[in-house]
Structure 1
Amino acid sequence: MDEKSPPRKLKRPRAAQACERCRLKKYKCDESIPCFHCKKSNLECVYQNANRYRDDAYASHYIQTLETKVRELTAQLMAVGSPVSQHSLDPENRVILTSNPLPKSLMPAADGQQTTSSRQSVSDEAGDTAAEVEIADVNRHTNAVEFHGSTSSMAFLGYLKRRQSHQTGYSAAAEAPSLVSALHNPAFSPQAHHHGPEKSRNIYSKQAHIFIEAYFENLHFVHPLIDKEHFMARANNLWFGHHNPEDESFVPLYLSLMSLGALVRVWDEERLDGLTRFEWSRKLFGDAQAYLNDLRFSNDLDTVQCLYFMAKVCQNELNQHLAYMYLGLAIRTCLSAGFNRESPNPKCHQSGTIAKTWWGIYSLEIEMSFSLGRPDTLGMDEYHNRRLPPIDDSEYAIIPLMVQFAHIIRKVTILIYHKKSKWQEKVNIACQIEQDMGQWVATLPEKIRPFPLEKRFLGALKEPKWCRRQRLVLNLRYHNVRMLLFRPFLSYVAQNHSIVMHEALEQAINKCLDSAKTTIELIHETYTIHSFFRTWWYNTTYVMFAVSVLLLYISRVRTPLQSPSVVKTIEMAVEILDAMDESVVARKTAVIIKDSLREAMEASAEPAAPTSTTTNTLATNSQLYVDEYLDMNLFASLDFPDYSLQDMASLFDEFSRTPHTPI
């Protein structure tokens, strides 16, 4: 082509479908609604074929059909007076029943006509799915929606509180706050610390050494993301006015680390410079948040570590919802900065710290998401090619080891709690995962490999602090996951009273109970020896998981009289929570557990002997209920759903009032 000739103008592609006026006038239609020419002439724009709108019509018709179906099923449930209609579908109970997508029989047909389906066709399509019970409610203290899924302790404990309303003879659902609100810590609210434009710029140099040292001698050994020497050098520059203005994001990191240090510090005095433990921690937390607000969440390593520490503060304040939110911000900041990738970084000297930070929050994200029954925000592992820190004899080896364990936790989430299959298949899967966990323990460095309580030796007293801290944490995490791995089998037996106890089921239940009891015994023993461990407020969550399992066992599987060791362990759990009376959530949890244990003991001491007439009536009603229930197929599979919330509901069912059938 001649250099002097003008460039050839690209021909606009022909419209796939022009409107009627453009087609007659031979205009180039832009296919808009209305198109450019019709809009300019202020004329009606008409397309000959309206197929382009067909999807929208299908969607509208489909939604209307689903709404009608839901209303019909709800009315049918209310008509038979089932436990589901009285509890699960009551909006005051804040319970959501979720299942897999609707069967094909309810989907739009290919020719655009809605296919009518009988109740039997729904049954055929839905038979391979299972309903899951979860909690979604508005926290009245924060006005924020919180979701707690099937692996959440909140869901598993949900119906313990309901027992009190059963005993008083009236429904308190409309009057009492939900469990999300009831177990909220109202004294801890970041919004209350907003300083506005005139916020203080205090760096608290007088108290800094106390709180910083408290962190580095405590939780740092479990989450060794920060280099102490480097941090102290930067803190000294801040104290003596040599701080680089371009390094402003260090200030919120500095404040958030002190907030966590103040929270987990062993306090011999009640107040320090006029403030208590929680007052100091929350004040520093609020200041860190104010700095972050000013910085607009700058994309750097300091901000990621700050968000991480703020998540840990929330976690130990027992506000798991906020912890999940802050950790999610840390994850997203890492991803936006490329810290998960082996890519060129303008601060290449930070590569080692970046790797520790990224993989530290990676494992914490999976663990925290699992404990809340929520999905993690990490995406596919193929995205993350950042090299792991080496597994050596240093305190940093726990980071890659916890990444390995996080992969096992994901298996539990997917294969046990979300895969729909019969219990026989899931027992085999659970046993295989347990073997993987055992292999993981066997590969741990000897310095931090957990051992049974009865095999402690005096030589361990001379070990570095980080060895003892890490061994303790790894032991707790192992038993917590092992307990949750086998918990669905306990739930299954508790719901299906008529089932013949298979040897595999009995072994699975024993493993679940063993880990629940070991968790409580381990925490109790450590509390009696080490004062630092009493300030790890997150232990309340481990205790809640374990005691829920034990309460379910003595309420639905074996009576308290048949399980004296279980009752003793529950009483031990109450002692732990009473020792943490500084935490409002721990106090509330202790009250719930005491009431539930007392009621279980009273029920087992005075069993009600039904008459033959009552027994026959219950059997007849139960069979009628089962027939109607199977006919409706609202919950597709009876094989192996997760009963994390319904376990607690079934603990206190009145069999003389409502026949119980497995769901």
Structure 2
Amino acid sequence: MRKNSVAGVAQARKRSAKVCVRCRRQKIKCSGTQSCFSCSNRNLSCIFDDMSQKVLVTRRQLAELKQRAAQLEKHTSDRHTSLGSASRERPPENTPDNYYTPPDGENPESGLVNPLVSGPPAFMSPGNGRTYYLGTSSNWSFARRVLSMVHEHVHKESLPTEALAFEGTAYDLGWDGSRTDPSPESPVIPTLDHAIFLINAVRFRCGRLYHLFDDSDFKESLYSFYSEGQRTRPRGLWYIHFLIIIAFGKMFTQVKYLKGKPAGISLFVKALQILPDHTLLYSSPMVSTEILCCIAIFYQSLDCRTASHNYVGQAMRMAMAHGMHTCMPVTDLGRDSVERCRKIWWTVYILDRHMTSIQGLPQSVDDHFIQTKLPSPVSSENITSLDMHIKLCRSIADINARVYATDGRLDRSFLLNIKGALSNLAGLADELNKSFPLHLEATDSGLSRVSAYLHLFYQQCVIVATRPLLFCFLKIRLESAETCVQSLQKSHNVRNLIKMCLDSALHSIRILHCLASQGLLETFLTFDLESLFISTVVLLMAPAIDRQLVVNDTWWHATADLIFNDMVEAGNQIARFRHSEIQQLDEKLNLLLPNQDQNGQSNPEVLQHSITKHPLSSHEAHTATPMEENSRADPFLGGETTRVTGCAFEPSLTSAEMMAMANSIELFDAEWVSTMMDNHAIW
């Protein structure tokens, strides 16, 4: 009997041995040692969660602990009362201006941070006395950070800024921004039929994505405007609105820019010159908010990002001051006004979320304060696209808040933040593919411009969420190529996240190629250019980190150059500057590839190949595309041959695949990233 009891005690003790996190999750036997046999055999981090281990205490010990906790709580409460509310709100004396108190539950000693958001704010100056802030999630600043880091590694000096383009330098508007003495001359106004044609072009290019004007009200004012003589025509807010819409129409319909200036620029400048003060704008909040949105989009297309973000902010505040973010009562305000306000609000919301992300700045409005409904559907297709557009904007805002927060960490929470962002994004994959199919493989059906835009936006969300890992590994690669490859091989899940980023970039270029082949590539609005730019940057980084990361290298290189050239030939100066920056980055990254002599000097033939590999002229672009099997004529390539499908890439991930990818990130992956970043001083 005694032997049985002793055996039972031995078994109980054996069952109560320590079990690591992975063995408990996998429900397998754990040796209880640090590291356990199972984790050691798989070369994985072995983590023991001591907080879940059960301990035995007596009732007396438990009572004493409760009494001590109550005394400590009372002492703390009395101390806070004596200090007073004023001292509680002030930081301690002699603390720096950037004093920060971590929120409850956060470990203030965790020092590893996202390299794109950590440390002091990053700035860059072109040498003219002005400085530019490099926003955390900004595509432009990400490329500049990568280019600067690689240039300093290769040339052992800071990146010169003379050959780089900065915001607002792509075009000469012929206006210094002053309204003190606007020109009394009126711009050339198109005839009525021409104006209707231009307005319809704006409706086709923007109508499914943004609300820029009210159809019925705008058309009524249009006919009234043309019914008057030139001298008696009105010059109020509608006239300003009309000038900007016509300027948009000229941008969309004129194939080539004249003398390097965008078409319709004189109409846009005139509208800005006569734009009244906000005291007058607030008297007509609906029209004024529509005007401010139009100005923001136009400025964004001129690469005046700060001005664009400023006008979106003004539109947001005007809309909120009018209560457009609330559930406006139809009985008091009328259905037409409420419906128009709903359309205006969601356009302001979309522009604010999208342009804030492009700038790399914090979001301005919390979603918890937004109560307005979607507008009543004119068609189910319109409301579905608006709903998806809003969901994607919320996703990019969620990514900015999780991955690019001011204390974005590269310890275990950093990778788990990426996991959370991808989990939220995964829920949109199936809905997007079902409601907005692309049919990239089809040869007998056209591509929907709206569907392509939404898919490009989705892929951009994936890239923005995962590209900090690429930046980290590039930094490790600059220290040691061997260490970089070994580090990537140690975590299959982290490597898969990087692969997901690159696959999204390849998928984006494929979509843009199909748009260009059907004449639907957007050469004025910058969203296609943004997608092309960020996709090309991350794809250029990959071979420098590990040459096995990217496949179809020749195809995407040639295709990206073709698309850049197509935009440049249409007169887009921003595309020309971005392409030049891409070529500089490509040249410097090629110097990191293992094609060097024994003295560490770059092979001149390899350098020459890296410079001339990507075509610059239209003729070179159309003849440099590689020949593939099963190819056929492609109108985008001017009769040359390449695969219509743009190489047989896998389709975009489904919701289940995205969720499986996110769920595969385990605690030991996060611990491994934390250790690796600490070892390489990436913060």
1:132-147 equivalences in 2 (<5 Å) = 132-133=117-118, 134-137=121-124, 146-147=132-133
Query: Residue type matched to 2:327 in 1?
Result: E
Q: Secondary structure at the match of 1:191?
A: coil
What is the CA–CA distance in structure 2 between the aligned matches of 1:641 and 1:541, rounded to whole Å?
34
- Contact in 1 for aligned 2:138/2:358 (Cα 8 Å): yes
Counterpart among 452, 472, 492 of residue 503 in structure 1? 492
Change (3 A) 1:145 1:532: same
Query: Residue type matched to 2:268 in 1?
Result: F
What TM-score, normalized by structure 2, do the two folds share? 0.64
What TM-score, normalized by structure 1, do the two folds share? 0.65
- Contact in 2 for aligned 1:315/1:323 (Cα 8 Å): yes
Q: Which range is displaced more, 414-423 or 500-509? A: 414-423
Q: Could you tell me how far 1:381 is from its partner in structure 2? A: 2.3
Counterpart among 384, 387, 395 of residue 408 in structure 1? 395
What is the CA–CA distance in structure 2 between the aligned matches of 1:140 and 1:100, rounded to whole Å?
32
Q: Which range is displaced more, 218-227 or 318-327? A: 218-227
2:242 equivalent to 1:257: no
What is the CA–CA distance in structure 1 between the aligned matches of 2:188 and 2:249, rounded to whole Å?
15
Counterpart among 113, 134, 154 of residue 148 in structure 1? 134
What is the CA–CA distance in structure 2 between the aligned matches of 1:366 and 1:478, rounded to whole Å?
14
1:214-253 equivalences in 2 (<5 Å) = 214-241=201-228, 248-253=236-241
Q: Which residue of 2 aligns with 1:101?
A: 100
What is the CA–CA distance in structure 1 between the aligned matches of 2:190 and 2:244, rounded to whole Å?
14
1:443-482 equivalences in 2 (<5 Å) = 443-444=431-432, 446=434, 448-451=435-438, 453-454=440-441, 456=442, 458=444, 460-461=445-446, 468-482=448-462
Per-residue CA distance 1:552-580 (angstroms, 9 max, x = gap): 2122x213x87452354233222221222
Query: Residue type matched to 1:517 in 2?
Result: L
- Contact in 2 for aligned 1:256/1:285 (Cα 8 Å): yes
Q: Could you tell me how far 1:190 is from its partner in structure 2? A: 5.8
What is the CA–CA distance in structure 2 between the aligned matches of 1:256 and 1:277, rounded to whole Å?
19
What is the CA–CA distance in structure 1 between the aligned matches of 2:397 and 2:549, rounded to whole Å?
35
Q: Could you tell me how far 1:602 is from its partner in structure 2? A: 4.7
Query: Residue type matched to 2:236 in 1?
Result: E
Q: Which residue of 1 aligns with 2:375?
A: 389
- Contact in 2 for aligned 1:193/1:283 (Cα 8 Å): no
2:274 equivalent to 1:291: yes
- Contact in 2 for aligned 1:148/1:155 (Cα 8 Å): yes
Query: Residue type matched to 1:250 in 2?
Result: W
Q: Which residue of 2 aligns with 1:516?
A: 505
Counterpart among 344, 349, 359 of residue 362 in structure 1? 349
Q: Could you tell me how far 1:398 is from its partner in structure 2? A: 2.0
Query: Residue type matched to 2:496 in 1?
Result: Q
Question: Alignment identity in percent?
Answer: 14
- Contact in 2 for aligned 1:411/1:433 (Cα 8 Å): yes
Q: Could you tell me how far 1:401 is from its partner in structure 2? A: 2.4
- Contact in 1 for aligned 2:137/2:357 (Cα 8 Å): yes
Q: Could you tell me how far 1:473 is from its partner in structure 2? A: 0.7
Q: Could you tell me how far 1:589 is from its partner in structure 2? A: 1.7
What is the CA–CA distance in structure 2 between the aligned matches of 1:308 and 1:231, rounded to whole Å?
16
Q: Secondary structure at the match of 1:292?
A: coil
What is the CA–CA distance in structure 2 between the aligned matches of 1:568 and 1:100, rounded to whole Å?
50
Q: Could you tell me how far 1:283 is from its partner in structure 2? A: 1.2
What is the CA–CA distance in structure 2 between the aligned matches of 1:513 and 1:507, rounded to whole Å?
10
Q: Secondary structure at the match of 2:471?
A: helix
What is the CA–CA distance in structure 1 between the aligned matches of 2:218 and 2:519, rounded to whole Å?
27
Change (3 A) 1:151 1:385: same
What is the CA–CA distance in structure 2 between the aligned matches of 1:440 and 1:409, rounded to whole Å?
12
Change (3 A) 1:367 1:501: farther
Q: Secondary structure at the match of 1:62?
A: coil
Counterpart among 534, 546, 551 of residue 540 in structure 2? 551
Q: Which residue of 2 aligns with 1:323?
A: 308
Q: Could you tell me how far 1:237 is from its partner in structure 2? A: 1.1
What is the CA–CA distance in structure 2 between the aligned matches of 1:242 and 1:217, rounded to whole Å?
30
Q: Could you tell me how far 1:474 is from its partner in structure 2? A: 0.7
- Contact in 1 for aligned 2:395/2:424 (Cα 8 Å): yes
- Contact in 1 for aligned 2:438/2:452 (Cα 8 Å): no
Q: Secondary structure at the match of 1:158?
A: helix
In structure 1, stretches of 5+ residues that fail to align are: 1-50, 68-98, 105-122, 462-466, 612-636, 644-658
What is the CA–CA distance in structure 2 between the aligned matches of 1:549 and 1:316, rounded to whole Å?
23
Q: Which residue of 2 aligns with 1:587?
A: 576
Query: Residue type matched to 1:349 in 2?
Result: D
Q: Secondary structure at the match of 2:166?
A: helix
What is the CA–CA distance in structure 1 between the aligned matches of 2:374 and 2:233, rounded to whole Å?
32
What is the CA–CA distance in structure 1 between the aligned matches of 2:113 and 2:452, rounded to whole Å?
39
What is the CA–CA distance in structure 2 between the aligned matches of 1:100 and 1:475, rounded to whole Å?
41
- Contact in 2 for aligned 1:225/1:353 (Cα 8 Å): no
Q: Which residue of 2 aligns with 1:62?
A: 94
- Contact in 2 for aligned 1:103/1:126 (Cα 8 Å): no
Q: How many residues align?
A: 502
